[in-house]
Chain A
Amino acid sequence: MLDLINEKSARKDYILIGLFAVAMLTMPIWLAPFGANYPDLMQRFAIFGIFATGFNILFGLTGYLSFGHAAFLGVGSYTAVWSFKLLGMNPIPAIIMAVLVAGLFALVIGFISLRRTGIYFSILTLAFAQMSYNLAYSVLTPITNGETGLRVLNSDPRIFDDKDAEYSGSLLSNLFGVEMTGMAGFYFCAIILIITVFIAMRIFSSPFGMMLKAVKTNQNRLNFTGVNTRPYTLAAFVISGMYAGLAGSLMAIIDPLAGAERMQWTASGEVVLMTILGGTGTIIGPILGAGLIKYFENIFSAFNDQTLNAFFGFLPETLREGVVAVTSLFVGEGWHLSLGVLFMIIVIFLPGGLVEGMQRIFNTIVAKGQNKDTASSETKSSPAVGE
């Protein structure tokens, strides 16, 4: 029976991942109308998609809200850059090393943090992330290069690299001769995203995933029935940390430098926001959230007073000044303010994220179609907001 379900869900997963792969790889085409089809931005879509997908494995499945995931991202970045420095500019060893080190790091932090649940867990992970951040800035300067950030130098050992080769400009990561920049970099990230999303899908529909969902629903009951939940949550935490490490290493691959600011609590908060914006516990939600936030960050940050004035050019002079003054708070430097407001709105009104929102709209439309002959007043009673 279970096999049958697994087989069915597996077939569904294959179809979904196929569609997703097509969507990802054709991104440069269908993003063109939005003006977002340049590689730098699409690379970020993919990288943060991986990060958010990983975070979702922990938060979406088990309900453990980690506020320190950026630490793993930072660790991944540092490891990748060190791999470049020591082993050469090939991204494959960098990724493997970063995932392993981040996983190890997550194992230690998770082992301690997961002794507590709920609020305590969030506080503990936040404290750990802050601790890593402090360390990266101060004591670990020999490893992290402190405020300057870690970068690859021509004089580094890079034992597998062809040292005689002429380098023009800064060192770039290259996969057997293909430089990981521009579109090549994007496709590299996109393929890794597709693989990781497929793994996440399989985790979601596996017995392991079911167990994690049970932890989220009622951990006490699970404990009472004699199940030790700790190994499951720890596994989820480590997997999620590895995803973050992978995302961090990709960041370093695209641009071979690493800085401590990647570990700051704002970065941890950002991935939480991405996951929640899209829809916690869904496969596509976090990727959607990551894409939207990076897209709007890109657009909003580029605005300044001049572009705003041009944008509101149709308004009369006096009104325009007021509107520009207010909106300029939210764009450019103030992009984080819009992010905070968005964050609050989503948490207050739509805790299920955009995916839930779309489902609601879809359901309302379907219900409307069915009740066309009967009194349509019923359909207006949409689910109460903020339950």
Chain B
Amino acid sequence: MDVILLQILNGLDKGAAYALIALGLTLIFGTLGVVNFAHGALFMLGAFVAVTINKILSLENVVLSETETTAWGTPLEIRTPIAQEWFGDFGLVLVDYSVPLSILIAVPFMLMIGIFMERGLVRFFYKRPHAEQILVTFGLAIVIQEIVKAMYGANPIQQNAPEAFRGAVDLGIMIGSDPGVIVYPIWRLVYFGFSAIVIGAVFAFLQFTTFGMVVRAGMADRETVGLLGIDIDRRFTIVFGIAAVVAGVAGVMYTPILPPDYHIGMEFLVLSFVVVVVGGMGSLPGAVAAGFVLGILQSFASMTQVRDALAVLGLIGLDQIIIYLVAIVILLVRPRGLMGRKGVME
């Protein structure tokens, strides 16, 4: 029982990341009918916003000490973060909380990138074949990746969670099991909570605001909404921006879990596509549900007991490909996906 619970928890953080990216992909596909191959690059850009903010905040002022010397006899360098000089101890808190703080920057930045991308590139491709839409966003993904690689190098860059959220918490005690069985890193819990909030916010935005209502109407029948005198294109542009923000903040918060490098986006993108396909193209709840389900499934398949049991059956290495296998089965049995609407992209 405890073991099962632990695996569910283990699957949650990855599932949350899949769900957030898939949500953005579905939003874009549902409104604009474009499959955005550059969406993984947006996730990666978000992660590198966090890296940049951290770099800026931890800039140091190096002063050569007049009295102290190092073991080599050279003057000792005294390094103080500039933030500390400016804000005192509060500056150190800023450095510590650089990852959550990055969200403040990432939201406007990603919104801008998203809107710029839609207005500057994607909108010229609405009437062109799907293949060309895929290709141009794929090309864009390569360009973004390579720019990031040129700026930050090819190696993963470790980011730390704030001091207070490092380490693990023993969740098992809370539900009455033995201590030390269900130990879970705090930051992953934070990530899960954060993604739940973001997903909730997106759904609330679409469900309870006039803007969201118009967008939903546009998803159902774009032409009619346009005929009613509503500027649906502008609203869809903003939806693209929102999708970019969702991917971006997902990337920001994921940095303490997995050190970002320039091709982190593509790895997540392929899996998110699978998530979208399983959930049902164009279905927002489907994307979220499938994201979590597949994340948890993946963590179950990598469990030692399950792996041993599967190895007995001759299914070695199933944990590597379980997601793809599920997608294949779903596509063969139920082509529209788990929650896809009938007739949409079947």
Chain A residues proximal to chain B, CB less than 8 Å: 59, 63, 65, 67, 112, 115-116, 118-120, 122-124, 126-128, 130-131, 134-135, 138-140, 265-266, 269, 272, 276, 329, 333-334, 336-337, 339-341, 343-344, 347-348, 351, 386
Contacts and interface: CB of A to CB of B under 8 A. Distances in A.
A86 B68 CA distance: 68
Contacts of B104: none
Interface in B250-285: 266, 270, 273-274, 276-277, 281
Given A127-B324, A131-B321, A341-B143, A347 B331 contact: no
Interface stretch (B77-85, B132-140, B160-168, B238-246): B132-140
Given A65-B131, A119-B35, A337-B143, A348 B320 contact: no
Contact of A135 (B131, B140, B320): B320
A336 B270 contact: no
Given A120-B345, A343-B139, A139 B273 contact: no
A contact face: mostly helix, strand, loop, or mixed: helix
18 contacts: A65-B131, A112-B328, A112-B332, A119-B130, A123-B274, A123-B276, A127-B273, A128-B324, A131-B324, A139-B320, A265-B266, A337-B142, A339-B142, A340-B142, A344-B139, A344-B140, A347-B139, A386-B128
A59 B130 CA distance: 13
Contacts of A347: 132, 135-136, 139
Nearest to B267: A130
A348 B136 contact: yes
A336 B266 CA distance: 15
**B interface, by DSSP: helix, strand, loop or mixed?**
helix
A328 to B, nearest CB: 9
Interface residues of B, number: 40
Contacts of B130: 65, 118-119
Contacts of A272: 135, 138
A340 B143 contact: yes
A125 to B, nearest CB: 11
Given A135-B320, A340-B142, A343-B142, A123 B273 contact: yes
Given A63-B131, A116-B335, 13 more contacts: A65-B135, A112-B332, A119-B35, A120-B345, A123-B273, A127-B327, A139-B317, A333-B150, A336-B142, A339-B142, A340-B142, A344-B139, A347-B135
Contacts of B149: 334
B55 to A, nearest CB: 20
A371 B298 CA distance: 67
Contact of B132 (A120, A123, A266, A351): A351
Residue among A126, A266, A276 with the highest chain B CB neighbour number at 10 A: A126
Contacts of A127: 270, 273-274, 324, 327
A337 B320 CA distance: 30
Given A131-B324, A348-B124, A115 B331 contact: yes
A115 B135 contact: no
B146 interface: yes
B48 to A, nearest CB: 16
A135 B274 CA distance: 17
Nearest to B315: A139
A134 B320 contact: yes
Interface of B: 35, 121, 124, 128-132, 134-136, 138-143, 145-147, 149-150, 266, 270, 273-274, 276-277, 281, 316-317, 320-321, 324, 327-328, 331-332, 335, 345
A261 to B, nearest CB: 12
Given A135-B317, A329-B150, A334-B150, A269 B138 contact: yes
A122 B331 CA distance: 13
Contacts of B134: 65, 67, 119, 122
Closest 8 CB pairs of A and B: A139-B317, A340-B142, A337-B146, A343-B139, A344-B139, A340-B143, A65-B131, A131-B324
Contact of A337 (B136, B138, B150, B345): B150
A120 B277 contact: yes
Contacts of B150: 329, 333-334, 337
A336 B144 CA distance: 11
B313 to A, nearest CB: 14
A139 B327 CA distance: 20
Given A337-B143, A347-B132, A347-B136, A134 B321 contact: yes
Contacts of B121: 348
A65 B134 CA distance: 9
A265 B332 contact: no
A248 to B, nearest CB: 21
A138 B328 CA distance: 21
B135 A276 contact: yes
Contacts of A329: 147, 150
Contacts of A334: 146, 149-150
B324 to A, nearest CB: 4
Central interface residue in B131, B147, B266, by most chain A CB within 10 Å: B131
B331 A265 contact: no
Contacts of A341: 139, 143
B331 A124 contact: yes
Given A127-B273, A347-B135, A112 B331 contact: yes
**Which of B35, B128, B142, B150 is the most central at the interface, judged by chain A CB atoms within 10 Å of its CB?**
B142
Nearest to B127: A387
B331 A126 contact: no
Contact of B146 (A130, A138, A340, A348): A340
B312 to A, nearest CB: 15
Nearest to A337: B146
A344 B270 CA distance: 20
Nearest to A345: B139
Contacts of B35: 119, 122-123
Nearest to A328: B150
Contacts of B135: 65, 272, 276, 343, 347
A141 to B, nearest CB: 9
Nearest to B134: A122
A277 to B, nearest CB: 11
A343 B142 CA distance: 9
Contacts of A116: 331, 335
Nearest to A339: B142
Most A CB contacts (10 A, CB to CB) among B130, B145, B276, B316 go to B130
A341 B147 CA distance: 11
Contacts of B321: 131, 134-135
Contacts of B140: 340, 344
Given A112-B328, A334-B146, A343-B142, A139 B316 contact: yes
